[in-house]
């Protein structure tokens, strides 16, 4: 039984790690275009990749809302690093809950101790928003499932080798034929592509991989056709909630830095914050942030209680990502040229906010989801 004290202790450790370990190193990782894998031992010690994992599997067994709060704290420093940590944790959690116990036992401990990294791979070079159009094939053979195809835009693939992946078992059958598999990147037939060079946020190690005659054993099929499509989307309300929280984290940190700067920097003989035109900008950002946080809390509360959060999670992500897209450039502007310096997170956060518009449902797909729920009610 976890208590609020357990959650607070975990969040305080997360805060300390974000401030003392992450913040000083992230600018260099971005410059070097890589995931900061050297801190994953500390990540493991604090438990950042095993927040929700049941205690019996070595997890902290905390409620989903604790992971949401952790996401906001980490993303205040770096969106990409947070995505990397969360995706690895999601794989451990999925395996413990959905894989055959023997299969899960082979991987979960290595993942949560920072020895192996995880990805969840739906997207392909030719299929993003339309998940049912994936063309990676899984063909039944004597020794298991032969898998051929390619995945693209997958978080962590620069280093991950425990991958929950979806493939089509029956060409032309769309969502119905999709099955979920565990892919071990250390096996024959797995070919890692170089990580993508992007506009920024290389700390999430986005890239792709190919499977060429890869054999997944029978017990490595995580969900059979008919169940996998739904299972893949089952966790999306949670993902939308933590992405919304991460957007709040980036804006909250930008607001904190700008507020502090406004008291120290003078123009026309007074601190910047004395100028009405300057401080109103921060008042707008703070008000939007407060509203988005309320939506995040509502979605997380519903998910903790096992209730339907489809509408509020989609709305929270829609509005929080829009807020980050709009407010981050304005808060950066409030810093003058100083905000361009690498030691501040503004530049990285601008790209983080852009990426947040695509991961776990693009803005357009969210609007589709929201209108579908509204038309039903
Ligand atoms: C940094 C990053 C990390 C990612 N990590 C992962 C990961 O770990 N695993 C994974 O599987 N995927 C991942 N993705 C992929 C992400 O899920 C896709 O980018 C997303 O699903 C959109 O697909 P797409 O980029 O191919 O856009 P497309 O599907 O090609 O769409 C292009 C544009 O058209 C819009 N559009 C498409 N269809 C419609 C429609 N019917 N109506 C209106 N507008 C439409 C889209 O919203 C988008 O703006 C990641 C992406 C990024 C950027």
Average pLDDT on 356-371 reads 96
Number of H helices, E strands in the chain: 12, 10
Percent of the chain residues past pLDDT 90, beyond the cut? 97
Question: Do residues 117 and 107 lie in contact, with contact meaning Cβ atoms separated by under 8 Å?
Answer: no
What's the rounded mean pLDDT across residues 167-190? 97
pLDDT of the residue at 3 = 87
DSSP 25-59: HHHHHHHTTS--GGGHHHHHHHTTT-SSS-GGGT-
Average pLDDT over residues 315-328: 98
Q: How far is the CA of 360 from the centre of ligand 1 (A)?
A: 8
Residues whose CB is less than 8 angstroms from the CB of residue 118 and which lie 6 or more positions away in sequence, other chains included: 87, 88, 89, 90, 91, 92, 111, 156, 160, 162, 163, 164
**Nearest alpha carbon, ligand 1 atom 24:** 128
At 116-154, the pLDDT tens digits run 999 999 999 999 999 999 999 999 999 999 999 999 999
Across the range 37-41, mean pLDDT stands at: 94
pLDDT digit string (tens) for 240-283? Answer: 999 999 999 999 999 999 999 999 999 999 999 999 999 999 99
What are the two backbone dihedrals, phi and then psi, of residue 39, each rounded to the nearest 5 degrees? Answer: -95, 5
Tokens standing for residue 298: 């509502």
Backbone torsion region of residue 268, taken as left when φ is above 0, otherwise alpha when ψ lies between -120 and 50, otherwise beta: left
Q: Ligand 1: which of 84, 89, 122, 123 to mutate, most ligand atoms within 8 Å of CB?
A: 123
Distance between CA atoms of residues 131 and 124, nearest Å: 9
Q: d(Cα 314, Cα 363) in Å, to the nearest integer? A: 9
- Expressed in angstroms and rounded, the spacing between residue 120 Cα and the centre of ligand 1 is 14
The rounded distance, in Å, linking the Cα atoms of 14 and 20 is: 10
- Residue ranges and CATH numbers for the domains of the chain are 4-117 (1.10.540.10), 119-226 (2.40.110.10), 235-376 (1.20.140.10)
pLDDT of residue 234 exceeding 90? no
Length of the chain in terms of residues written: 377
What band does 94 get if pLDDT is binned at 50, 70 and 90?
very high
pLDDT reported for residue 341: 97
The answer, yes or no, to whether residue 1 has pLDDT greater than 80, is no
Q: Which of 40, 173, 214 is nearest to 117 (CA)?
A: 40
Q: Yes or no: say if 213 and 189 are a contact pair by the CB < 8 Å rule.
A: yes
Task: Give the separation between CA 363 and CA 376, rounded to whole angstroms.
Answer: 20
Q: Is 139 helix (H, G, I), strand (E, B) or coil?
A: strand
Closest residue CA from atom 1 of ligand 1: 355
Q: Which helix (H) or strand (E) holds 6?
A: helix 4-17
DSSP string, 298-347: HHHHHHHTT---HHHHHHHHHHHHHHHHHHHHHHHHHTGGGGGSTTSSHH
- Mutation choice for ligand 1 from 243, 362, 367, 371, CB with most ligand atoms inside 8 A: 362
Query: Rounded to whole angstroms, how far apart are CA atoms 229 and 322?
Result: 28
Confidence tier at 29 by pLDDT (50, 70, 90): very high
Mean pLDDT for the stretch of residues 294-302 = 98
pLDDT at 286: 98
Contact 155, 87 (CB under 8 A): yes
The CA-based angle 42-158-150, given to 5 degrees, is 140
Residue 193: predicted pLDDT: 96
Q: What is the mean pLDDT of residues 78-92?
A: 98
The answer on pLDDT for 35 being more than 90 is: yes
Average pLDDT of span 15-41: 96
d(CA 98, CA 283): 46
pLDDT at 2: 79
What token pair was written down for 10?
């975990």
The whole model's pTM is what?
0.97
Q: Residue range 16-45: average pLDDT? A: 96
Identify which of 349, 354, 364, 355 has the alpha carbon closest to the alpha carbon of residue 77.
349
Nearest CA to ligand 1 atom 38: 129
Distance of CA 200 to the CA centre of its chain: 16
Give the pLDDT of residue 339: 97
Whether pLDDT at 316 is above 80: yes
Mean pLDDT of 87-112: 97
Ligand 1 contacts (CB < 6 A) are: 87, 119-123, 128-129, 153-155, 204, 206, 355, 358-359, 362, 364-365
* Gap from CA of 359 to ligand 1 centroid (Å): 7
CA dist 113 and 356 (Å) reads 27
Picking from 86, 49, 25, the residue whose alpha carbon sits closest to that of residue 242 is 86
């Amino acid at each position: 039984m976890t208590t609020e004290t357990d959650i607070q202790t975990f969040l305080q450790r997360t805060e300390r790690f974000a401030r003392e370990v992450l913040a000083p190193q992230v600018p260099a990782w971005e410059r070097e275009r890589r995931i900061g894998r050297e801190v994953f031992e500390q990540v493991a010690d604090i438990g950042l990749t095993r927040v929700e994992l049941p205690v019996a599997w070595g997890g902290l067994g905390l409620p989903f809302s604790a992971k949401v709060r952790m996401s906001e704290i980490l993303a205040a420093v770096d969106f990409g690093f947070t995505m990397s940590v969360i995706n690895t944790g999601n794989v451990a959690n999925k395996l413990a809950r959905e894989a055959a116990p023997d299969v899960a036992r082979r991987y979960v401990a290595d993942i949560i101790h920072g020895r192996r990294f995880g990805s969840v791979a739906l997207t392909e070079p030719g299929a993003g928003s339309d998940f049912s159009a994936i063309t990676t094939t899984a063909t039944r053979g004597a020794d298991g499932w032969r898998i051929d195809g390619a995945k693209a835009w997958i978080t962590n693939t620069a280093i991950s080798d425990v991958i929950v992946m979806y493939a089509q078992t029956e060409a032309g059958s769309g969502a119905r034929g999709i099955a979920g598999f565990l892919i071990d990147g250390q096996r024959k037939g797995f070919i890692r592509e170089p990580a993508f060079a992007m506009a920024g946020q290389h700390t999430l190690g986005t890239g792709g991989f190919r499977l060429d005659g890869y054999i997944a054993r029978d017990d490595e099929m995580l969900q059979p056709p008919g169940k996998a499509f739904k299972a893949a989307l089952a966790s999306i309300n949670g993902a939308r909630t933590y992405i919304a929280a991460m957007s709040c984290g980036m804006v909250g940190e930008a607001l904190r830095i700008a507020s502090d700067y406004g008291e120290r920097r003078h123009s026309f003989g007074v601190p910047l914050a004395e100028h009405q035109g300057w401080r109103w900008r921060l008042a707008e950002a703070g008000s939007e942030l407060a509203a988005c946080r309320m939506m995040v809390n509502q979605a997380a509360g519903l998910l903790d209680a096992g209730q339907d959060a489809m509408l509020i999670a989609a709305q929270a992500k829609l509005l929080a990502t829009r807020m980050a897209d709009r407010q981050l450039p304005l808060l950066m502007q409030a810093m003058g040229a100083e905000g361009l310096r690498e030691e501040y997170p503004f530049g990285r956060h601008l790209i983080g906010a852009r990426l947040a518009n695509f991961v776990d449902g693009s803005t357009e797909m969210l609007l589709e989801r929201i209108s579908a729920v509204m038309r039903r009610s």
